[in-house]
Homo-oligomer: A and B are copies of this chain.
Amino acid sequence: MAYKKLKMGMIGGGPGSFIGAIHRIAANMDGEIELVAGVFSSDPEKSRSAGESLFLDPNRVYGSYDEMFEKENQLSEEERMDFVSIVTPNHVHFDPSMKALEHGYHLVLDKPMTLTLEEARILYDKIKSSGKHFCLTHTYTGYPMIKQARQMVADGILGNIRKVYVEYPQGWLTEMLESEDNKQASWRTDPKKSGKSGCMGDIGTHAFNLAEYITGLKLSKLCADINTKVEGRLLDDDGNVLLKFDNGASGTLIATQIATGAENNLNIRIYGDKAGLEWKQEDNNTLIIRHHNQPDQIYRAGSPYLSHNAQANTRTPAGHPEGYLEAFANLYRNFARTIQAQRQGKQPDEAWLDIPGATDGLRGMAFVHHVIESGKSDQKWTEFTV
């Protein structure tokens, strides 16, 4: 019997959305997932029009996610969607996620997990009890050289980790963009839609997640300087954080959206007592390994000497640059292949299982909580708990 593509329903991602289109490209790229249903806007007319432009069956373009869950559940198992992808602003993460799981769907959810830490705890438990597959789209862990970096740390190439410097500078909010009818800027700087943090929730969480992912360490305490640099803005747009990890490593986390002229310059440097590594998202196919008194090495995506996990997350040989969309697609492909393998009674490749999940989501919300609290505190160190 022939297997079918995995069927996806989408919540959010209509006109003006940035991340919705990204999710669709990521899902489409490898030809293993098919978008079959969706509610793309809280405005039914906009949702319908978006669905048409996506070549969807009009009967499966819905006016609300409640309607979507109800109608899709009436379809045959063969026909109805296999999983749901939620790409709405943060305040519309919790409710549809809970309902998707309750209706029996696997779930892909954009980060951060929820609006509040409390919601995250509830959703975490729900995911764990549901038995459904869950992916939180911390895109950057989908890059092959990040897989390679994590493997090299795990293999002890760097020795005992002493220092972690992670940065996420952007410049797009250097002006008061939210007063100019910019949809992306508006919700991200609105506490009702974004939560208790702007910059730290939007991009700081990516940096935090990346640092823990590569090193395998857990943050144990932090000391934050949180700022709103653009006058009139309602949430933080900048922050510097001192970090301490559970093995004693120290570091810094920088996230800012007012570094004028910066694009999307997530980068990380990790130093152990044997070697160091450096990676920049804007040059994502390169991983530099630094050695003491020996020539540094340039590891390149698509090369035959990379780890299985790194190779499993590339599509092209070295020198054919893959990028952000492919990293994103890796999350979708790994998620889909795991479900397909399960369907077929096969063991999924371990590379497919390596996607960000509920724990990442919960820790990310704890990071948002603590970093903002630390920013308000006169005390140097704040314990990181979940």
Q: Are A263 and B295 in contact (CB under 8 A)?
A: no
Partner of A293, one of B252, B291, B304: B304
Which residue of chain B is the closest to A34 with respect to CB atoms? B55
A8-19 to B contact mask, C-beta < 8 Å, 1/0: 000000000010
Taking the complex as formed, is A322 at the interface, i.e. its CB lies under 8 A from any CB of chain B? yes
Q: Are B264 and A271 in contact (CB under 8 A)?
A: no
Q: Which residue, of A55, A58, A238, has the highest number of chain B Cβ atoms within 10 A?
A: A55
Taking the complex as formed, is A380 at the interface, i.e. its CB lies under 8 A from any CB of chain B? yes
Q: Are B300 and A297 in contact (CB under 8 A)?
A: no
Partner of A291, one of B2, B225, B238, B261: B261
**Whole-angstrom distance between the alpha carbons of A285 and B380 in the complex?**
39
Given A293-B303, A296-B297, verify A24-B28 contact (CB < 8 Å): no
A295 CB to nearest B CB, Å = 4
**Whole-angstrom distance between the alpha carbons of A257 and B238 in the complex?**
28
A278-318 to B contact mask, C-beta < 8 Å, 1/0: 00011111001111111111111011110000000001111
Residues 334-386 of A at the B interface (beta carbon under 8 Å): 377-381
A19 CB to nearest B CB, Å = 10
**Whole-angstrom distance between the alpha carbons of A265 and B118 in the complex?**
43
Residues 256-274 of A at the B interface (beta carbon under 8 Å): 256, 258-265, 269, 271-274
Taking the complex as formed, is A185 at the interface, i.e. its CB lies under 8 A from any CB of chain B? no
Taking the complex as formed, is A5 at the interface, i.e. its CB lies under 8 A from any CB of chain B? yes
Q: Which residue, of A172, A229, A381, has the highest number of chain B Cβ atoms within 10 A?
A: A229
A21 CB to nearest B CB, Å = 7
Taking the complex as formed, is A323 at the interface, i.e. its CB lies under 8 A from any CB of chain B? yes
Q: Are A305 and B293 in contact (CB under 8 A)?
A: yes
Taking the complex as formed, is A43 at the interface, i.e. its CB lies under 8 A from any CB of chain B? no
What class of interface size applies to chain A in its complex with B?
Answer: 35 or more
> Which of the candidate stretches A90-98, A128-136, A163-171, A188-196 sits at the interface with the other chain?
A163-171
Partner of A303, one of B3, B295, B303: B295
Q: Are B295 and A289 in contact (CB under 8 A)?
A: yes
Which residue of chain B is the closest to A230 with respect to CB atoms? B273
**Whole-angstrom distance between the alpha carbons of A378 and B381 in the complex?**
7
Which residue of chain B is the closest to A3 with respect to CB atoms? B55
Taking the complex as formed, is A175 at the interface, i.e. its CB lies under 8 A from any CB of chain B? yes
Partner of A273, one of B254, B260, B263, B317: B260
Taking the complex as formed, is A122 at the interface, i.e. its CB lies under 8 A from any CB of chain B? no
A238-260 to B contact mask, C-beta < 8 Å, 1/0: 10101010000011101010111
Can you report 25 A-B residue pairs in the complex whose CB atoms are below 8 A from each other?
A2-B55, A5-B55, A25-B30, A25-B31, A25-B315, A29-B325, A32-B55, A163-B258, A169-B269, A171-B271, A175-B273, A223-B225, A242-B242, A259-B276, A260-B275, A261-B292, A264-B317, A288-B298, A289-B295, A295-B300, A296-B297, A297-B297, A322-B323, A379-B379, A379-B380
